[in-house]
Chain A
Amino acid sequence: MSVEPSADPSSPPVDGADTKPWTGPEDLGSFDAPEALGVPGSFPYTRGPHRTMYRERLWTMRQFAGFGSADDTNARFKYLLEHGQTGLSTAFDLPTLMGRDSDDPLSLGEVGRCGVAIASLADMRRLFDGIDLGAVSTSMTINAPAAILLAFYIAVGQEQGVPTEKLRGTLQNDILKEFHAQNEYVFPPEPSVKLVIDTIEYCTQHLPQWNTVSISGYHIREAGATAAEELAFTLADGMAYTEKSIERGLDVDAFAPRLSFFFDVHNDFLEEIAKLRASRRIWSHTMRDRFKAKSERSLLLRMHCQTAGVSLTEQQPMNNVVRVAYQAMAAVLGGTQSLHTNSMDETLALPTETAAKLALRTQQVLAHESNVTQTVDPLGGSFFMEKMTNEIEAKAYAIIDQIDAMGGVLKAIDRGFFRRRIAESAHAEQKRIDAKDKIIVGVNEFIEDGPPGIDTLKISQDTEDEQVRRLKELKQSRDAKRHEQALDRLKSDAREGVNLMPALIDAAEADATVGEMMATMKTVFGSYDGGPEW
């Protein structure tokens, strides 16, 4: 119920605003190609972060998955490793994502459903049983309890005798976008960000090969933001982490190379490509000019992309295969480093094996048959593409200025800025679809009656009972005194404001659960009720 002014320089809609049938050199004004584009792999990286891009190395096809118990996922991991995959990508179940144990009342019906349930070090040990953490790279999609999961991972590594310097992987660890969009926050914004900076500091000192934060626009876009808003909010979040890390006393060039980004790729083919190109240009300028980064690795924005889950339709679900293919091509023409393609049935249920395989095949056809990999940034220099890149860049800068004027991301969260903007954009989009200003095939045009006509996946409930039983056993068998001392230390460290990673690792080794550690920190940090809603 705040009085945020809704008039701003880039009110939606941002798309389809062009009235001229074509674009020519006159539309680019004083466009200076060497300055605006550079060459691939050099400042300002508009054309790509690397010189040769896909000619030398294809993007990583990183399909995100996870299910059931730690043992189920462990078996899946081993299967993937045996078939030549070197990177593991872990999806956690909702209770774990929310920092709650499997036996929490709100976890009912959710344990092991949309990812693997990890409540303790014992679960993590089983998840990576027989897998050498010194030889794989592990991506963990988790946010509010990210520091705890990292502590588990470090502890398993120590048990295996792997020094922390050798641990490789990525933590999503982007709590800011949870406040804007995905809603998997627990603590209020300020202590939440403090915890992220703890992980950045700890990794900078002890896990030099670890990607500390995957700064995500994906969820912001899925929740309804426009492309320009996704771009601006995400980069503003990146700037906030950078600023706070510098305030902590870290050298920008020591941590910035380990920040990476994660964007959504939606239906508007050309706009999405422009967005990805603009992201690199804005970030390189910001890192150089605002944060005085000197190392080239700090300036170049590396990204992961995922096709837009929200663009998939329940009606005529086979059409989704086509949408995903176009979106995937936009990601590649925009120069992504890795890509997840959604399965056609994801608006109905978790994907079936057939649908998931088809999604991967879509990438393989793109990589090996379409020949779009033959040259770097093939659309670079197109009048329209450069104009659009300039425009979305300008819109993003205007929004970033607006956030800065409010006093930064945290202040803007406190005023409900992000949530309100996203909800308004989502509402505007729905109205356009309802008014047929925007056509969605099979939804508001070319409609067919009848059921979707594809098979969907059914998930069993067995995991939950088993997981709850294991947790009960753990709580009875662990060293109660050691457990209590570790949680006491966590609490006093939280009070004193020191880096919590050592205390979390200690608590992990004392068999404290995710829920217990979160509850302990909550007594100091408080919990967040969502901020201004409308």
Chain B
Amino acid sequence: MTTNPPRVLLAKIGLDGHDRGVKVLARSFRDAGIEVIYTGLWQTCEATMFAALQEDADVVGVSLLSAAHMTVMPEILRIRKACGIEDLPVVLGGIVPESDYAALEEMGIAAVFNPGSPLDKIMTAMQELASRPRSNMDEAQIREGFAKRDARILAKVITAIQRETLPEGWKPPGGNATVIGVTGAPGVGKSSFIGKLGRMLCDRGKRVAVVAIDPSSPITGGALLGDRLRMMLGSPDADFFIRSLSSGGATGGLAPHCGDVVDTMKGFGFDFILVETVGAGQADVSVAKLADHTLLLLMPDSGDSVQFSKAGIMEIAGGFVLNKCDLSGADACQAQLVSAVGDSRPIWRVSAVRDEGIDAVVDWALSL
């Protein structure tokens, strides 16, 4: 796919759970050929802007229905400035009295939409904001950014790789990162697991990058990139870099240029790079070529262990993670898995939601 879909990051901030509007927008944007990164509920201003920086979003949309906009939006803009991404347009959607519009515009909000705003009006405004000219980096800027470990530059380089606008001749420096691929059927909890694993590796003093891949629409090129929302819990961390990519129509569970993105992350100096595949199932074998080690995630009751044993996935896996072990049927699934694996490759029982069992996987990763 040669089109360059705009990237829009949508966020809900605070405790308000009214997400009908933001979800309708996310779907409409996808249908209009936009890549939507949705960060999920209960985000802080800081985590939202960190995410926007790492994702190199073209526009950030904040959804607020709790009437807290006059408290939240100034804070968003303050952090935007502190992060050095002042050229990133921020728009606001939600229940906003007209009397606040002028003040919001004055402080630097690019646009405000209310519950009655027609979709096409929102869409046009977003497309316009997203297609604003963006400065191209030259080789020296990139080199300097990498030397200073400037996450903004890394984020922009990844975008440039995807859009094939990298300065000619720039190659990432070499690095020593361990690349761990994580694959498994949809719904087994890959993102939550990676989020916890990455965070725990950070807690042990490691620098971690995550590449999370979601499918994109073969027709519009748009995509809903929702993996990130399972990794956002906790406070933002400069040594935990997450980047969502769309599969861009590629098969095999990865994204186009995925190898270049991983090489770039290596060159940036991460210790671990965790790659989450689309989760299409049996076709997800190309991750093994990219990764040094591949983990296969399974869950009780899924019947996947039987399904997988027939496919190549079982062979490429260097270890097996039985997630959601808080659910019933874990023992049976483990027994099934042990007999299907039939060798000494490790099998871990974990529960990502309960933070159980992940320590052992961390120890394994650190021993690699």
Q: Which residues of A contact B (CB under 8 A)?
A: 1-3, 94-95, 97-98, 100, 105-110, 113-114, 182-184, 188, 190, 222-224, 310, 313-315, 347-350, 414-416, 423-424, 426-427, 430-431, 434, 443-444, 451-452, 456, 459, 525-530, 532-534
Q: Which residues of B contact A423 (CB under 8 A)?
A: 20, 23-24, 27
User: In the complex, which of the residues A109, A184, A222 contacts B71, with contact meaning CB atoms closer than 8 Å?
Assistant: A109
A113 touches B67 (CB 8 A): yes
A533 touches B72 (CB 8 A): no
Within B105-130, the residues touching A (CB, 8 Å) are 114-116, 118-120
Highest count of chain B CB atoms <10 Å: which of A97, A106, A415, A444: A106
Alpha-carbon distance A285/B86, docked complex (angstroms):
61
User: In the complex, which of the residues A109, A190, A349 contacts B14, with contact meaning CB atoms closer than 8 Å?
Assistant: A109
> From B119, which residue of chain A is reached at the shortest CB distance?
A434
B263 near A: Cβ within 8 Å? no
Alpha-carbon distance A526/B351, docked complex (angstroms):
9
Question: Smallest distance from the beta carbon of B359 to chain A beta carbons, Å?
Answer: 15
Closest 3 CB pairs of A and B: A183-B17, A526-B354, A2-B187
A224 touches B224 (CB 8 A): no
B41 near A: Cβ within 8 Å? yes
User: In the complex, which of the residues B20, B98, B229 contacts A222, with contact meaning CB atoms closer than 8 Å?
Assistant: B20
* A183-B41, A459-B67 given; A349·B97 CB < 8 A: yes
> From A314, which residue of chain B is reached at the shortest CB distance?
B116
B28 near A: Cβ within 8 Å? yes
B40 touches A530 (CB 8 A): yes
Q: Which residues of B contact A182 (CB under 8 A)?
A: 17
Can you list 17 residue pairs at the A/B interface with Cβ under 8 Å? A1-B214, A1-B227, A1-B279, A2-B187, A106-B42, A110-B66, A183-B17, A188-B354, A224-B24, A314-B114, A349-B67, A423-B23, A424-B27, A427-B27, A528-B353, A529-B229, A530-B41
Question: Smallest distance from the beta carbon of A427 to chain B beta carbons, Å?
Answer: 4
User: In the complex, which of the residues B19, B44, B118, B187 contacts A416, with contact meaning CB atoms closer than 8 Å?
Assistant: B187
Interface of chain B, helix or strand or loop or mixed?
loop
Q: Which residues of B contact A (CB under 8 A)?
A: 14-20, 23-24, 27-28, 38, 40-42, 44, 66-68, 71-72, 95, 97-98, 114-116, 118-120, 185-187, 192, 214-215, 224, 226-227, 229-230, 233, 278-279, 326-327, 351, 353-355
B97 touches A456 (CB 8 A): yes
Q: Which residues of A contact B120 (CB under 8 A)?
A: 434
Q: Which residues of B contact A532 (CB under 8 A)?
A: 186-187
Known: A2-B187, A430-B119. 4 other contacts (CB 8 A): A2-B186, A109-B14, A114-B66, A532-B186
Alpha-carbon distance A533/B268, docked complex (angstroms):
31
Question: Smallest distance from the beta carbon of B101 to chain A beta carbons, Å?
Answer: 10
Highest count of chain A CB atoms <10 Å: which of B14, B41, B120, B278: B14
B353 touches A529 (CB 8 A): yes
Q: Which residues of A contact B351 (CB under 8 A)?
A: 526
Alpha-carbon distance A105/B18, docked complex (angstroms):
20
> From A429, which residue of chain B is reached at the shortest CB distance?
B24
Q: Which residues of A contact B279 (CB under 8 A)?
A: 1
User: In the complex, which of the residues B15, B229, B353 contacts A100, with contact meaning CB atoms closer than 8 Å?
Assistant: B15
Q: Which residues of A contact B27 (CB under 8 A)?
A: 423-424, 427
Q: Which residues of A contact B42 (CB under 8 A)?
A: 106
Alpha-carbon distance A434/B95, docked complex (angstroms):
20
> From B280, which residue of chain A is reached at the shortest CB distance?
A3
* A223-B20, A427-B28, A452-B98 given; A108·B71 CB < 8 A: yes
* A183-B17, A456-B97, A526-B351 given; A1·B226 CB < 8 A: yes
> From B19, which residue of chain A is reached at the shortest CB distance?
A183
A527 touches B187 (CB 8 A): no
User: In the complex, which of the residues B16, B72, B116, B353 contacts A443, with contact meaning CB atoms closer than 8 Å?
Assistant: B116
Alpha-carbon distance A223/B23, docked complex (angstroms):
10
> From A316, which residue of chain B is reached at the shortest CB distance?
B116
Q: Which residues of B contact A529 (CB under 8 A)?
A: 40, 192, 229-230, 233, 353
User: In the complex, which of the residues A94, A105, A313, A534 contacts B16, with contact meaning CB atoms closer than 8 Å?
Assistant: A94
* A1-B227, A427-B24 given; A184·B66 CB < 8 A: no
A534 touches B226 (CB 8 A): yes
* A190-B327, A426-B24, A529-B233 given; A1·B41 CB < 8 A: no
B15 touches A106 (CB 8 A): yes
* A190-B327, A224-B24, A314-B116 given; A527·B353 CB < 8 A: yes
> From A528, which residue of chain B is reached at the shortest CB distance?
B353
Alpha-carbon distance A183/B66, docked complex (angstroms):
14
B95 touches A347 (CB 8 A): yes
Question: Smallest distance from the beta carbon of B94 to chain A beta carbons, Å?
Answer: 11
Q: Which residues of A contact B72 (CB under 8 A)?
A: 109
Alpha-carbon distance A486/B145, docked complex (angstroms):
53
Q: Which residues of B contact A114 (CB under 8 A)?
A: 66
Alpha-carbon distance A313/B117, docked complex (angstroms):
11
B20 touches A224 (CB 8 A): yes
B229 touches A530 (CB 8 A): yes
Q: Which residues of A contact B214 (CB under 8 A)?
A: 1
A190 touches B187 (CB 8 A): no
Q: Which residues of B contact A452 (CB under 8 A)?
A: 98
Alpha-carbon distance A525/B227, docked complex (angstroms):
23
Q: Which residues of B contact A222 (CB under 8 A)?
A: 20
User: In the complex, which of the residues B28, B44, B187 contacts A414, with contact meaning CB atoms closer than 8 Å?
Assistant: B187
Alpha-carbon distance A113/B65, docked complex (angstroms):
12
Alpha-carbon distance A528/B23, docked complex (angstroms):
19
Q: Which residues of B contact A414 (CB under 8 A)?
A: 187, 327
User: In the complex, which of the residues B23, B68, B97, B215 contacts A110, with contact meaning CB atoms closer than 8 Å?
Assistant: B68
> From A223, which residue of chain B is reached at the shortest CB distance?
B20
Alpha-carbon distance A3/B304, docked complex (angstroms):
13
Q: Which residues of A contact B98 (CB under 8 A)?
A: 451-452
A106 touches B14 (CB 8 A): yes
Question: Smallest distance from the beta carbon of B137 to chain A beta carbons, Å?
Answer: 32
Q: Which residues of B contact A527 (CB under 8 A)?
A: 233, 353
Q: Which residues of B contact A190 (CB under 8 A)?
A: 326-327
User: In the complex, which of the residues B15, B28, B353 contacts A95, with contact meaning CB atoms closer than 8 Å?
Assistant: B15
User: In the complex, which of the residues A310, A416, A426 contacts B23, with contact meaning CB atoms closer than 8 Å?
Assistant: A426
Alpha-carbon distance A459/B187, docked complex (angstroms):
42
Q: Which residues of B contact A314 (CB under 8 A)?
A: 114-116
Alpha-carbon distance A534/B41, docked complex (angstroms):
14
Q: Which residues of A contact B66 (CB under 8 A)?
A: 94, 109-110, 113-114
A526 touches B17 (CB 8 A): no
B192 touches A107 (CB 8 A): no
Alpha-carbon distance A107/B16, docked complex (angstroms):
10
Highest count of chain A CB atoms <10 Å: which of B38, B40, B119, B353: B353
Q: Which residues of B contact A223 (CB under 8 A)?
A: 19-20
* A526-B355, A527-B353, A534-B224 given; A3·B15 CB < 8 A: no
Question: Smallest distance from the beta carbon of B70 to chain A beta carbons, Å?
Answer: 9
* A347-B95, A434-B119 given; A426·B224 CB < 8 A: no
B20 touches A533 (CB 8 A): no
A188 touches B115 (CB 8 A): no
> From B30, which residue of chain A is reached at the shortest CB distance?
A534
Q: Which residues of B contact A1 (CB under 8 A)?
A: 186-187, 214-215, 226-227, 278-279
Q: Which residues of B contact A188 (CB under 8 A)?
A: 326, 353-354
Alpha-carbon distance A348/B98, docked complex (angstroms):
9
Q: Which residues of A contact B20 (CB under 8 A)?
A: 222-224, 310, 423, 426
Alpha-carbon distance A279/B233, docked complex (angstroms):
39
Alpha-carbon distance A444/B114, docked complex (angstroms):
14
Alpha-carbon distance A97/B42, docked complex (angstroms):
13
Question: Smallest distance from the beta carbon of B299 to chain A beta carbons, Å?
Answer: 9
Question: Smallest distance from the beta carbon of A376 to chain B beta carbons, Å?
Answer: 36
Alpha-carbon distance A110/B28, docked complex (angstroms):
30
Question: Smallest distance from the beta carbon of A219 to chain B beta carbons, Å?
Answer: 9
Question: Smallest distance from the beta carbon of A330 to chain B beta carbons, Å?
Answer: 22
Question: Smallest distance from the beta carbon of B186 to chain A beta carbons, Å?
Answer: 4
Question: Smallest distance from the beta carbon of B39 to chain A beta carbons, Å?
Answer: 11
Question: Smallest distance from the beta carbon of A185 to chain B beta carbons, Å?
Answer: 9
Alpha-carbon distance A97/B17, docked complex (angstroms):
11
